[in-house]
Each structure stands twice: as structure tokens, then as C-alpha cells.
Chain A
């Protein structure tokens, strides 16, 4: 409670001088906070598919980062050739989901329950895909341009300070596109929660997470559920690629970066848990952004420090089940 109250006060109040001296300008703090949350939104989009697939199929899909990268490339070409940014999302979702279905049907189904084999095969697939994409798209940096109504900053109602001469309040400016992307991530998260907890399909998925064999014994067509979940999880990664390409960029190497981020997020949040992925993504996003302004040299360490602490005290992850 106290922490929340202090945080709220730090967000809304005009900072007194002593606080400014201690930790710098409020603008920096607020931006780090917001950027951490929006970056967390992106990590959540990637990691939720990863954790969903793991939760249901016990399949650590190390090619998940490649699905993200492919989504980014597909999104760039669709947005660039049609001129509609929004069209990039369904296109990336569908293309990558189809690939996910193919992976599940042609590869993973043949080696169900063999963890090590699956893990090694997914590493192999990710290396092959990375080289194929490098061959096809080159090493260039692709930057998906958002439509004009989304580019540039907007004024928010958060006060960052007062003008020295007139005493007028200065309001924080924040990139529109990041706000929209965060809202979309929240919407998808809530949608997923509703789907899992309020629908028949969700019930089947949850039952599958708990006990696969019992579920198939009751007559549910578990292979179909597997394919569906894999398609959805892969599609989400593809859409995340478009998001990442919009406020960052698409290039070789991003696949590994997002695979690593997803791994850290699900280890912190708890393998197989959607709320866990949300919490983990938020923590990691905030750690990266606060780290980058307040302790730039050690920002990278901070992320892994969180992982180490979680593993030491709660090895199943914050929201994971033992």
C-alpha cells in the first residue's frame, strides 16, 4: 500500500527540489516508467505465445524468436506494399500461424513427449530459419512506418515540472505509437484471459495443461487443440514482430534477442502461466528501462539479477505452480 501510494505520488505530484537532486528530473523517471510498461507490453506479446505452447505441450519452442522475426518481415512488406499499417497485423498473424501449424503437424507431433529431442530440433529450426531469412531479406534494418496519425508525440496529462519564469505546468510528451501498442497488448492479454477462463475451448486448453491423458480419454480431440494453440501462439509472435518492427526495427539477430527475452520472462513469471507472463514481462521491461537511465553500465545485469533472485527463492516462477 505504502509503496503504491509513494509511486502514485511520484507520478502525479510536481517533484520538490530535493527529490530532483536525489534521482534526477521527473521527466526521466516518468519516461522510464512508461517505456518500461510499453516495452513490457511487447515482451508480453512474444512471451505469452511461448508460455501457452509450453504450458500445454511441454514443448520448449526455441524457434519462437524466429517466428517473431518472420512476422516482422511479413509485416514490413505488407505495410510497405499496401500502405496500410493495420493490415500488417492480420497478415503477419496468419502467415506465422500457418507456419506454426506446419511445425506442429510435420515436426512436433512426431516426437511428442520427447523433451530433449524437441528442444534440439527447435534450435536447429531456428538456425535454419535465421539463415533463410538472412538470405531472403538481407542484413538490412527494416523499419515499419506507422501511419501519420500514430507518429510523433502527444501531450499527456502527467505533469513533469513547472516553467521557471511563468510557473505554468509542463506536461509530458509521449510517443502515440507506444501508447497504442500498449493498449493493444492489454486488450490481447484480457482477451486471452477471457478465452481461457470463460469459453469451452479455453476449458479444454486448461484441462490439457493439467492432464493431457485424462483430457484425451474424455473424448476431446487433443491433437486439434494442440494445433490450434500452436497456431495461436505462433501468430501472436508474428504480430509481436510487427509491433517490434514499428517501434524498434527488424533485423537479423532480433530472433535470438526476443527468444532470450521470452525465456527470461517466462522463467520469472512461471512457465505456462499467462498472468505470470504479463507480470514477468512488466518486470523485465521496467528493469531494462530504469536500468538504462539510472545504471546504464549494469542495465544488462539487472534483468538477469531478477531471474537469479526468482530462481533462488521461487524456482517455479512468480505465478508458476510447483
Chain B
């Protein structure tokens, strides 16, 4: 009898310990990043950003270990939806970080509406529509969008560089439309003229004929390309003997291109650009973050300094972990407390203060920078200036801004006032 009692006691204890272990199970977070296709290297650095944030939080939130479930996409909207479905419906995760690319973001915003039980924190996608048109209650974006990233660039190249006419070439999708939108507003109001806009399919590898058709009577060419497309363009541009002044879109002059192997990138030296970070900024928080990134990974497994994808995924993850800590990992109220924390978060991020507006879209800083050769021979973005608190309507009256219409191949027209 006493044997039975002991056995029962042991099994009860065992069950209790089991129960405890259950509570101590790792907290799973789903991640979407472009780990295949033309933006592979961008996605890889995005994942590094998440891991850097985990390192900053000791790998834990609310006392529980964090486990990442990473799902690859290829920058196309359907690949993002596929990845999200796998994470949400098959793995039954309810906190998702991602996606990376513009049109993916729009698709995930729509998908998130069908999954009200899950919370989506955008990785780095920067199309304007994602949060500007029919925003989703459970989709939060801690990065500013492509138009916000362009604020100040047009004025800078017109006034400081003296570029009076510009032709643009960009990949044919939402994020680049948004970037050119922001650039055009600024540049045309400063007095500049955009003569032509060329659009190429995402994933274009042979730019030979497009380079030949670029006008040779403009002061500069604005490049809205990213990843492999950017590298191929620069390579072929040099081979064709191109020597025009260049203006960089945000992902054109990002670390992912500046650290590519070969000589193609050297065509970018001296190129002005703008975006949510500048490599040589001497701000303490930024330098600490760069150091943390460098310490988290082996030198051969990372870039010399974090790219903007790393930074944006870092911010998204930091916000997520901060709020998970705040609610002590308790999401049982259908994420209500968690979401309210996310919406009201005031983040002191490595790239300045970030807050969210009513559409859960970030208000943050934009940097103007210029590509230079750094001390160790790597190309870096030199800090020129920064402006904080840029909102999605770019400081314009919301009603006025709405009249401009959405970014597209032709919109906005180039006018001296809007």
C-alpha cells in the first residue's frame, strides 16, 4: 500500500514538474524574411538584426526563452502570404515579425485582417499603402516608409549638389514608387525637374539596353534599385562607360550593396542618398548598437556594420520584446494589453526616437548621407544631416496629402508646389 502511495506521489510530482516545464517552454516568435531570390542578402541581415535584439534582451522575454521560427520568402506578395500561413495556421504562432519587402507588406496587411488572433510586427517593408490605406488593427510598423526615407534628399541634391534635371530608374513595385514619390515631392518643390522615369521588373539582370536609353543630358540619375539588381546595374553601367552623377535610393546605397564582392559598387562613391540610418553617425545609442551587432556575430558571418534591414528588424524585435515583458508574456486577453503597449510605445531606438501614429505607422528620423570609402577600405554612408519626427504625411496637412494620390509609376507629377 505504502508502495502505491509513494508511486502515486512520485507520479503527481512528475506531473507537476511537467506542468512547470510547460510554463517554462520557450516563447515562439514567427519570422518572415527574404532568404531566397534577389533580396536574399537583405533578408539574411534582417535575421541578424533580430538576433542582435535577442542578444540585447538576453535571449528572453518575460523570463521565458525565445525561439525563432524563421520562414523564407522571395519578395513576392504570394511568397509572403504562403510563409505567413505556414507560421500562423500550421505552427499556430500568434506573434509574427516581418515581412521585408514593400509589396509583401501590403499582402501581409490584408492577410492579418483574416487572422485577428495574431499580431504582426512589420520587419522592414516600406510601401506607403501598407499602413496608409485600409490599415489593419493587428499590423504594427516601427519603420518609416519609403517616402519618409526620401525627405530632404531632393532639396539636398538641388541646393547643395546643383542637380537641376534628373531621370529616375527604379524597380517596378510599390516600395520604389513610394521612394520616388517622396523624392519627387521634395525635389520638384525645391525647383528641380524630373525628365524621365524608367521602370524595370524586380529581378532584372541585364540592364544593357536600359543604360543606353538613359538620357545623357540630365544632371543626375536617381537609382531606385536594390540587391542583385543594383549590383548588376552598377557593373554594367561601368562597363558601358557611364559617368553621370548618381543619386541613391535607400536600398541602392545600403550595406547590402556596399559590401558586395567585386568592383561594381565603386561606382557609388560620392553618391548622395537618404534613409532611416547613416553608418558614421556619432550618436551614442547608434554606436552601441553597431558594437552589439559586431559582437553578436563572427566577423565573417556579418557585414562590417549593420545594414538598414538589420536595424529595422532590430527595432521591430526590440518593440515586440519590450511589450512582451510589459505584459509578462500574457497574451490570453486576445493580445489586448500587448497591442495597447505596442501602439503606445515610445522607443529610443538606435536611429532616434520612434513612435506610432493612429494607423500604427512609425514616426521617426530620416538621415541624409553620402557614400565614402571608410578607414578600413569598406564603403560606408557618411552622415550629413538628420531630421527627427517625420510622419507619414511628410509634415503636410493630411487632407492636402491625401489629394496627392497614392504613389505609382507616374504619380506624383513634378510640380513646384503641391
Contacts and interface: CB of A to CB of B under 8 A. Distances in A.
Nearest to B236: A247
Quick one: which of B40, B43, B208, B235 has the most chain A CB within 10 A?
A: B208
A289 B261 contact: no
A32 B209 contact: yes
Given A39-B206, A289-B208, A31 B213 contact: yes
Contact of A152 (B199, B228, B241): B241
Interface size class of A (residues with CB under 8 A): 35 or more
Contact of B201 (A28, A139, A145, A300): A300
B77 to A, nearest CB: 16
Contacts of B208: 31, 34-35, 38-39, 175, 178, 289
Quick one: which of B172, B199, B261, B263 has the most chain A CB within 10 A?
A: B261
A144 B210 CA distance: 22
A241 to B, nearest CB: 13
A173 B241 contact: yes
Contact of A292 (B41, B204, B241): B204
A134 B40 contact: yes
Given A289-B209, A292-B209, A293-B209, A142 B204 contact: no
Contacts of A138: 41, 44
Contact of A76 (B38, B41, B231, B261): B261
B205 interface: yes
B43 A139 contact: yes
A34 B35 CA distance: 34
Nearest to B40: A139
A252 interface: yes
A138 B236 CA distance: 23
B213 A28 contact: yes
Interface in B199-243: 199-201, 203-206, 208-213, 227-228, 231-232, 235-236, 238-241
A296 B171 CA distance: 11
A34 B198 CA distance: 20
B205 A257 contact: yes
Given A32-B209, A76-B261, A80-B261, 4 more contacts: A134-B40, A138-B44, A141-B260, A247-B239
Ranked nearest first, the 7 interchain pairs of A and B with the lowest CB-CB distance are: A143-B262, A31-B212, A139-B40, A35-B208, A153-B241, A175-B239, A139-B41
A297 B204 CA distance: 12
A253 interface: yes
Nearest to B45: A139
Contacts of A144: 262
A251 interface: yes
A213 interface: no
14 contacts: A35-B208, A39-B206, A76-B261, A139-B35, A141-B261, A143-B264, A152-B241, A173-B241, A175-B236, A251-B40, A251-B228, A253-B40, A253-B203, A257-B203
A247 B257 CA distance: 17
Interface string B254-269: 0001011111100000
Interface in A144-172: 144-145, 151-153
A142 B240 contact: no
A253 B37 CA distance: 5
Contacts of B40: 134, 139, 251-253
A252 B37 contact: yes
Quick one: which of A32, A143, A177 has the most chain B CB within 10 A?
A: A143
Interface in A177-218: 177-178
B44 A145 contact: no
B288 interface: no
A63 to B, nearest CB: 17
Contact of A142 (B36, B213, B262): B262
A24 interface: yes
Interface string B153-178: 00000000000000000001000000
A103 interface: no
A310 to B, nearest CB: 22
B231 A297 contact: no
Nearest to B303: A140
